[in-house]
């Protein structure tokens, strides 16, 4: 690879990973900005649309979005989860303190519910369902 190609590759990667949404897609940025303004200036009466703090939005849109971490801290099915383990362990310890309890699971349960909904829609009573264990790729 020559120096000019190396520079252009680096430049592309810097833009790809460093460019702000406002510069990359001004129309989408404007839409999100308008939605934030709407949420901050109207009362939302739908519980599932409760407005969250800036800190929660930053955590939700963080680098953890890029990481798949199935399993529990210290017992994941994939490597490279050590920092996810730290974040999840923090959540566990904080929830245990908040609710004054010894055990807490902070992982969402929607995947299992989605699987159940699909099964209910596709199978009839008495049908056989086969599923692989997670360790076998299921």
CB-based burial, 35-70: b 16+ in 10 Å, e otherwise: eeeeeeeeeeeeeeeeeeeeeeeeeeeeeeeeeebe
Which of the two residues, 96 and 135, has the higher pLDDT score? 96
* pLDDT tens sequence across 23-63: 999 999 999 999 999 999 998 888 778 888 889 889 888 89
What pLDDT does residue 41 have? 93
Identify the band that residue 70 occupies on the pLDDT scale cut at 50, 70 and 90.
confident
What mean pLDDT comes out for the span 109-138?
A: 79
Residue 88 CB coordination number (10 Å): 20
Q: Is the pLDDT of residue 128 over 80?
A: yes
Identify the band that residue 90 occupies on the pLDDT scale cut at 50, 70 and 90.
very high
Which of the two residues, 104 and 122, has the higher pLDDT score? 104
Reduced to 3 states (helix: H, G, I; strand: E, B; else coil), residue 74 is: coil
């Amino acid at each position: 690879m020559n120096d000019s190609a190396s520079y252009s590759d680096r430049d592309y990667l810097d833009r790809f990973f460093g460019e702000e949404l406002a510069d990359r897609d001004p129309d989408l940025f404007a839409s999100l900005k308008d939605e934030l303004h709407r949420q901050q200036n109207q009362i939302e009466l739908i519980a599932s649309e409760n407005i969250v703090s800036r800190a929660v939005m930053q955590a939700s849109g963080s680098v953890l979005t890029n990481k798949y971490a199935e399993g529990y801290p210290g017992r994941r099915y994939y490597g490279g989860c050590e920092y996810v383990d730290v974040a999840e362990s923090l959540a566990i310890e904080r929830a245990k303190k908040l609710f004054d309890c010894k055990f807490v699971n902070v992982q969402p349960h929607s995947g299992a519910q989605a699987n159940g909904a699909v099964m209910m829609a596709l199978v009839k009573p008495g049908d056989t369902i086969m599923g692989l264990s997670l360790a076998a790729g299921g």
